[in-house]
Amino acid sequence: MKKLAIFILLAATVACKKEYKSVYNFDVKTNKAKVKFVHALVNAYPLPDTAAQAGLQLYLNGKKLTGATDMTYGGGVFPSLEYTLVPAGNNTLKAVIPAVSNRPEIPVLDAPFTLADQKTYTAFITDSLPNSSVLLIEENFSPVADSGKYFVRLVNLMSNVPGIDLYGTSDLATIVSNIPYKGVSDFKQVLVGSGARSFAVRITGFTTIQATVSITPVVGRMYTVFAYGVMGKGGTRAPKATFYTSRFQTYEF
């Protein structure tokens, strides 16, 4: 009788069995690359009589990447946190100032964009119109920070200076020095310290501060500080600095 009861229970369980499908979609990563984009084009003006900088929309091989929200000048990083998965190989990257009711879209970049399979990149849209360009950096996120430290690096997108330094005003130390235009420093390890850490961008050989930025670092993370704008200019083209998180504690393609 006991065996019969067990058999009936098992039969009922099988009869009521449901098929569940995963809600997650794991993209195939073969023949793909990952990219983060940064808008640092210093004269992306939507109209000739305005000093306001326009946002950009990006297209890869004719397909829109950036969605409904424009990538803003300077602080506009797409995607904001991680990296977008795109085809590896030979591509074409197009950037436009989006159309509005009183004017059509304005093309600002149409350039080849070659990416290696299963590599990660950051692409800075830089220079100035009509000679815009892409600074493409292949990333290496394998280094591991020492105890109590994080990583920071400097990218120079200020076209009219010979070289710039990143000076840690909280740490009272020069973190990286003499980075030329379109130059990218290595990631440097710095003690996390306490609270926000302040940095100054200075022309190499001088102590005058061109721009400042503040980071509240987390142990093990990698941060990119980039300086942009034009030395000696005001308004939206004035020298500025900002940062984004390049890598959280770990990174896998």
Looking at residue 212, what is its pLDDT? 97
Which residues have C-beta within 8 Å of that of residue 94, sequence separation ≥ 6? 58, 59, 60, 62, 107, 109, 110
d(CA 251, CA 253): 7
Looking at residue 50, what is its pLDDT? 66
- The fold of the 143-253 domain, in CATH, is Immunoglobulin-like (2.60.40)
Looking at residue 11, what is its pLDDT? 45
Bridge partner list, 136: 123
Looking at residue 208, what is its pLDDT? 95
CATH of domain 29-139: 2.60.40
d(CA 40, CA 132): 10
Q: Alpha carbon of 20 to those of 9, 23, 24, 70, 162: distances in Å? A: 21, 9, 12, 38, 61
Domain residue extents for the chain: 29-139, 143-253
d(CA 131, CA 144): 38
Looking at residue 16, what is its pLDDT? 45
d(CA 183, CA 246): 17
In a 3-state reduction of DSSP, which class is residue 11? helix
Looking at residue 100, what is its pLDDT? 81
Looking at residue 220, what is its pLDDT? 97
For strand 32-39 and strand 120-128, is the pairing parallel, antiparallel, or unpaired?
A: parallel
DSSP, res 68: T
CB distance 44 to 127 below 8 Å:
no
CB distance 95 to 60 below 8 Å:
no
Per CATH, 29-139 and 143-253 having the same topology is answered yes
Nearest-5° Cα angle at 60, 58 to 63: 90
Count of helices and strands (H, E) across the chain: 1, 17
Walking along the chain (253 residues) 10 residues at a time, the average pLDDT comes out as 44 42 54 96 76 89 91 90 95 93 89 97 94 96 96 95 96 97 97 96 96 97 96 88 94 87
CB distance 141 to 222 below 8 Å:
yes
Place of tokens 């210093």: 42
DSSP one-letter string for 118-175: T-EEEEEEEEETTEEEEEEEE------PPTTEEEEEEEEEETT-S-EEEEETTTTEEE
Residue 95 backbone dihedrals phi, psi, to 5 degrees: -125, 140
